[in-house]
């Protein structure tokens, strides 16, 4: 198992990212860890709010607000998707760490 993960320099050099709260940045870093470990070929991965809250040491409300902030600023995409060709639904995520910064 790989014990390192990548977070793009471009993200940390972006003025809009720099202006975000430390909590939102910390969630982005944690999502980067998950993305590097679990994302499919298209960059999508899934995790529950409960797991995000526990692993990032935040409450669920804080996770929800931080995810919305990351989505609104273009650093994160998420959507509800059918899980494994069944009727189960899950929220899936994709980080925009290779995005054209400033073009959301």
The residue with greater pLDDT, 68 or 47, is 68
CA distance linking residue 42 with residue 25, whole number of Å: 23
Confidence label for 102 from pLDDT (cuts 50, 70 and 90): very low
pTM of the predicted structure, to 2 decimals: 0.83
Contact 91, 79 (CB under 8 A): yes
Positions of E strands within the chain: 45-46, 76-82, 89-95
Q: Rounded to whole angstroms, how far apart are CA atoms 28 and 77?
A: 12
Whether domain 9-95 has CATH 1.10.10.10 = yes
Confidence (pLDDT) at 104: 43
Tokens of 103: 């073009």
């Amino acid at each position: 198992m790989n014990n390192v993960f990548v977070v793009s320099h471009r993200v940390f050099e972006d003025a809009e990212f720099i202006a975000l709260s430390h909590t939102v940045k910390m969630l982005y870093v944690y999502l980067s860890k998950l993305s590097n470990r679990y994302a499919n070929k298209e960059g999508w991965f899934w995790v529950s709010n409960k797991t995000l809250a526990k692993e990032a040491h935040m409450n669920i409300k804080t996770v929800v607000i931080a995810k919305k902030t990351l989505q609104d600023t273009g650093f994160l995409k998420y959507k509800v998707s059918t899980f494994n060709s069944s009727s189960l639904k899950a929220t899936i995520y994709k980080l925009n760490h290779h995005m054209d910064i400033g073009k959301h």
